[in-house]
Amino acid sequence: AKPVIIAPSILSADFARLGEEVAAVDQAGADWIHLDVMDGHFVPNITFGPPVIKAVRGASQKIFDCHLMIEPCDSYLEAFAEAGCDYITVHAEATKHLDRSLQAIRNLGKKAGVSLNPSTPEDVIAYVLDRLDLVLLMTVNPGFGGQAFIPSVVEKVRRVKAMIGDRDIHIEIDGGVTPETAPLVVEAGANVLVAGSAVFKGGTPEHYRANIAAIRAA
Ligand code: DX5
Ligand code: ZN
């Protein structure tokens, strides 16, 4: 099995000190930095876009894992690539031409991901498996941090794992990840865990270190 990667979502960080917060979770043991981009259209919340990502890019050398919750997405891919994202993940529900969106991301020289809402069947990725570097399975309805983990997605993780076979594709989980829920999805085949509130709770770098360690230990 692949080593487990922990990707703190800066959605739960102090936005007034975003650069420092990115550096703090980097030094606290984060493997990747997860960036939740929301447009107030695909999801009922608005966060930040390429200029903010570009501004914090210098705060960490870790992989920038960009989760686009925006519709449309194709017209913005280049801007996110130029802002310094390494992985760019689009929602299957937010693009009419998933194959085209994934090709566009790879053509920009970036790793391509697809995300599925909790209610979206995994079949939508069946014909794009060879264009994927990552599958992001939402374990909450996207839009907000701090929501409860939806347990029915654990079965979906198992199915996606089987579909992927021996391809080199990450399975990432996002939403409600805690030391209690992390083992359920890792056992099912997930290897990248996004965590927002579970990492940033407490609000100090010492808390971040302990919170990341607790998820890893679980
Ligand atoms: C939800 C975002 C998640 C969220 C996770 O729309 O994509 O990344 O911030 O937050 P927690 O870990 O608090 O559920
Ligand atoms: Zn996310």
Domains in the chain, CATH or no CATH each: 5-217 (3.20.20.70)
**Reported ipTM exceeds the 0.90 cut:** yes
DSSP 3-state of 68: strand
Amino acid at 204: T
For ligand 1, is residue 122 a contact (CB within 6 Å)? no
Contacts of 187 (CB under 8 A, 6+ apart): none
Which DSSP symbol is given to 130?
G
Contact call for residues 174 and 152 (beta carbons, < 8 A): no
Contact call for residues 198 and 11 (beta carbons, < 8 A): no
Residue 36 is a catalytic residue? yes
* pLDDT (tens digit per residue) in 15-35: 999 999 999 999 999 999 999
Span 165-185, mean pLDDT? 98
Span 94-110, mean pLDDT? 98
Cis? peptide before 72, omega within 30° of 0: yes
Percentage of the residues of the chain whose pLDDT score is greater than 70: 100
Atom of ligand 1 nearest to the CA of 12: 9
* pLDDT (tens digit per residue) in 126-143: 999 999 999 999 999 999
For ligand 1, is residue 49 a contact (CB within 6 Å)? no
Closest CA to 13 of 199, 215, 212, 216: 199
Q: Residue 144 C-alpha to ligand 1 middle, in angstroms? A: 6
Q: What are phi and psi of 6, to 5 degrees?
A: -105, 125
The DSSP code sequence of 165-212 is TTS--EEEEESS--TTTHHHHHHHT--EEEESHHHHTTSSHHHHHHHH
Beta strands 170-174 and 192-195, pairing class: parallel
Model pTM? 0.98
The mean pLDDT of the chain is: 98
Q: Residue 89 C-alpha to ligand 1 middle, in angstroms? A: 14
For ligand 1, is residue 198 a contact (CB within 6 Å)? yes
Which DSSP symbol is given to 39?
B
For ligand 1, is residue 9 a contact (CB within 6 Å)? yes
Residues at the binding site for substrate are: 9, 67, 143-146, 174-176, 196-197
The whole-number pLDDT of residue 54 equals 98
CA dist 184 and 174 (Å) reads 13
The one catalytic residue in 26, 31, 36, 133 is: 36
* pLDDT (tens digit per residue) in 157-169: 999 999 999 999 9
CA dist 62 and 22 (Å) reads 10
Q: Residue 130 C-alpha to ligand 2 middle, in angstroms? A: 23
List strands edge to edge, sheet with 63-69: 5-8, 192-195, 170-174, 134-138, 111-116, 87-91, 63-69, 32-38
The whole-number pLDDT of residue 100 equals 98
Instruction: Give the mutation target among 144, 178, 185, 212 for probing the ligand 1 site: most ligand atoms within 8 A of CB.
Output: 144
* pLDDT (tens digit per residue) in 54-85: 999 999 999 999 999 999 999 999 999 999 99
Span 33-48, mean pLDDT? 98
- Give the pLDDT band of residue 2 (cuts 50, 70, 90): confident
Residues at the binding site are: 9, 34, 36, 67, 143-146, 174-176, 196-197
Beta strands 63-69 and 170-174, pairing class: unpaired
- Within 10 angstroms of residue 186's Cβ, the number of other Cβ atoms is 18
pLDDT > 80? residue 1: no
For ligand 1, is residue 175 a contact (CB within 6 Å)? yes
Span 142-146, mean pLDDT? 97
